[in-house]
């Protein structure tokens, strides 16, 4: 099996002194990219990250001015739980941001993971397969180097011929059943931002910088990725 590496991964590291500074940097860049995409072609497609780290960024976006009617929201992964379950990534994004801005609900596309891994993946494939490249993909990083719901040991989801959307079983991070965009699909993007905060990520960041293989290192868009990381004791 060929792990996805059409181009070597280029990582630009952006270090912030706090989670709030990281959120401000990511929110600012996201709004800039949206403005330019909408100016160029009247639409902005963004894939949202799950987990807890993006919440502060989402709360800043909720308070921002933007051409919201031209935003199109997708999700990088989802936990198999009912749509109104607080453990859902779509629930957190809605509560922190989306419910507070006038993005047409028809332009917000949660992953139907409540249908289960296989059916959820099948349904979402139809939705994303005709998008050549997302304008922006937001991703988190797990302590083991996972991103979205792409976990170490599940190499098929990192493979160069993986489907766009994959079912995930036995995820080491609860809940075990999930749906995720594959490394290949997440890499088909103009920009990819990783949002990384928490002392528990330091070892994964160190291994990534040292060139170790891990799911996060399999995200390889042509233009490279931007990794926003909190490292105490820095200035910005
Ligand atoms: C999920 C996420 C997952 C997350 C990382 C980091 O569904 O859990 O997609 O990939 O981004 O585990 O999570 P935290 O931001 O909570 O540390």
Tell me, in angstroms, the distance from the centre of ligand 1 to residue 173's CA.
9
Q: What is the pLDDT of residue 232?
A: 72
Q: What is the pTM of this model?
A: 0.96
Residue of 81, 78, 87, 196 whose CA lies nearest to 127: 78
Atom of ligand 1 nearest to the CA of 173: 8
Cα of 96 vs centre of ligand 1, distance in Å, is 16
Torsion of CA 86, 95, 197, 141, to 10 degrees: 60
Pairing outcome for strands 225-230 and 11-16: parallel
Cα separation, 82 vs 19, in Å, equals 29
Q: What is the mean pLDDT of the chain?
A: 95
**Looking at domain 43-221, does it have CATH number 3.40.50.1360?**
yes
Tell me, in angstroms, the distance from the centre of ligand 1 to residue 194's CA: 11
Cα 229 to Cα 70: distance, rounded to the nearest angstrom: 29
Q: In this structure, which residue's CA is closest to atom 10 in ligand 1?
A: 148
Helix (H, G, I), strand (E, B) or coil at 15: strand
- 41's enclosing H/E stretch is helix 19-41
Q: What is the pLDDT of residues 35-85, one digit of tens each?
A: 999 999 999 999 999 999 999 999 999 999 999 999 999 999 999 999 999
Q: What is the pLDDT of residue 234?
A: 55
Domain boundaries, the chain: 43-221
C-alpha 130 to ligand 1 mean position (Å): 26
pLDDT at 5 over 60: no
Which among 22, 23, 49, 51 is the best mutation to test ligand 1's pocket, defined by most ligand atoms within 8 Å of the CB?
51
pLDDT of residue 47: 99
pLDDT tens, residue by residue, 127-185: 998 899 999 999 999 999 999 999 999 888 888 889 999 999 999 999 999 999 999 99
* Centre of ligand 1 from the C-alpha of residue 88, in Å: 11
List residues near ligand 1 (CB under 6 A): 49-53, 77, 79, 89, 140-142, 146-149, 173, 198
| Residue located nearest, by CA, to atom 4 of ligand 1 | 51
Q: Whose CA is nearest to atom 8 of ligand 1?
A: 51
């Amino acid at each position: 099996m060929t792990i996805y590496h059409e181009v070597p991964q280029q990582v630009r590291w952006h270090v912030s002194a706090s989670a709030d500074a990281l959120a401000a940097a990511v929110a600012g860049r996201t709004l800039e990219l949206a403005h330019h995409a909408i100016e160029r072609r009247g639409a902005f497609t963004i894939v949202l990250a799950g987990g807890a780290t993006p919440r502060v960024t989402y709360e800043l976006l909720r308070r921002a001015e933007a051409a919201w009617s031209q935003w199109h929201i997708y999700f990088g992964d989802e936990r198999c739980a009912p749509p109104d379950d607080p453990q859902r990534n779509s629930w957190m994004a809605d509560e922190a941001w989306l419910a507070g801005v006038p993005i047409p609900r028809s332009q917000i596309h949660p992953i139907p993971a409540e249908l289960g891994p296989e059916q959820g993946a099948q349904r979402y494939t139809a939705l994303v397969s005709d998008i050549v490249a997302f304008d922006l993909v937001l991703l988190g990083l797990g302590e083991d180097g996972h991103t979205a719901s792409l976990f170490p040991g599940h190499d098929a989801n990192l493979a160069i011929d993986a489907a766009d959307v994959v079912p995930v079983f036995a995820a080491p991070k609860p809940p075990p059943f999930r749906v995720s965009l594959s490394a290949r699909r997440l890499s088909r993007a103009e920009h990819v931002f990783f949002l990384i905060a928490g002392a528990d990520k330091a070892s994964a960041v160190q291994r990534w910088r040292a060139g170790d293989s891990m799911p996060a290192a399999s995200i390889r868009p042509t233009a490279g990725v931007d990794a926003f990381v909190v490292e105490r004791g820095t200035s910005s």
